[in-house]
Amino acid sequence: MASTESLFRLDGRVAVITGGAGLLGYQHAATVAGLGGLPVLIDINADGLASNAARLAREVGCEALALVADITDLDAVSNAFEQTMARYGQVDILINNAARNPKVESAGDRDFSRLEHFPWEQWKMDLDVGLGGAFNCAKVFGVQMARQGAGVIVNIASDLGVIAPDQRLYRVEGREPEQQPVKPVTYSVVKHGLVGLTKYLATYWCEQGVRCNALSPGGVYAGQNDVFVSKLTQLIPLGRMADADEYRGAIAFLCSDASSYMNGANLVVDGGRSTW
């Protein structure tokens, strides 16, 4: 029988992480590397990728493979796959982390985050990255895992993939109701969609040993304004937003053999917000 500690080890396993230039992309990669895994960072942001790769080398002692790719382009994803296979010869984990978090600026007397004014082009861009990109990566990297007879896919959803956004959080004093900013519709649609994609993938390659689960994190504190933070923390039983590194345990669990009998689930880690 394996020890509890060994269940969480990822020694030699290759983990592809989209959105690798971002705040949580770094945390996911650091978790994988700290457990002996080999992170592959994918992002369209070359500077951010270089920065996170350098940080991994400095803080974790890990040399990550950093690949600039647009995950909405299937050819670019296939090219990233070929580079990954050329380096490592295998893919064991896919973390679909990339997403747009739309913050549409106001213009004139209309706020374009509102549903009635939300641009069609914005809708397409947000869904292309958040859902289309996850589909492309699952399609390319998941097929390889199925060929290998084992693998793990983790889709990064959100507490807003479980509950609706509380638009009171975004209200601006003194503005008319029809001019108030809101959390854009696409964020909710993408995050709910990722939970649905998780369930689909969980049953699609199950006979080939490929598991798929979702992680739905709550809000991460990253210097947001005090008014917003105060409003949000009142909705969270733990009374605060998450620190950036507080999802490392969940990622370690979902990517490793510690969750070997977990498939098609959505792990909600939100400080209790969705409980109220």
Taken in order 191, 193, 196, 201, the sign of the CA dihedral is negative
Q: With a cut of 90, say whether residue 144 has pLDDT above it.
A: yes
**Residues of 121-155 as b/e, b for ≥16 C-beta within 10 angstroms?**
ebeebbbbbbbbbbbbbbebbbbbbbeeeebbbbb
**Second CATH level (architecture) for the domain 4-102+120-163+185-219+246-267:** 3-Layer(aba) Sandwich (3.40)
pLDDT confidence of residue 166: 97
pLDDT confidence of residue 103: 61
pLDDT in tens, 89-128: 999 999 999 999 766 444 444 578 999 999 999 999 999 9
Q: With a cut of 90, say whether residue 171 has pLDDT above it.
A: yes
Please give the mean pLDDT across all residues of the chain: 95
pLDDT in tens, 38-54: 999 999 999 999 999 99
pLDDT in tens, 193-225: 999 999 999 999 999 999 999 999 999 999 999
> Can you give the residue ranges of every domain in the chain?
4-102+120-163+185-219+246-267
Q: With a cut of 60, say whether residue 174 has pLDDT above it.
A: yes
End-to-end Cα, the chain, rounded Å: 40
pLDDT in tens, 262-275: 999 999 999 999 99
Q: Are 42 and 22 in contact (CB under 8 A)?
A: no
User: The tokens 């861009």 sit on which residue?
Assistant: 125
Q: Measure the CA dihedral 206/211/39/134, to 10°.
A: 90
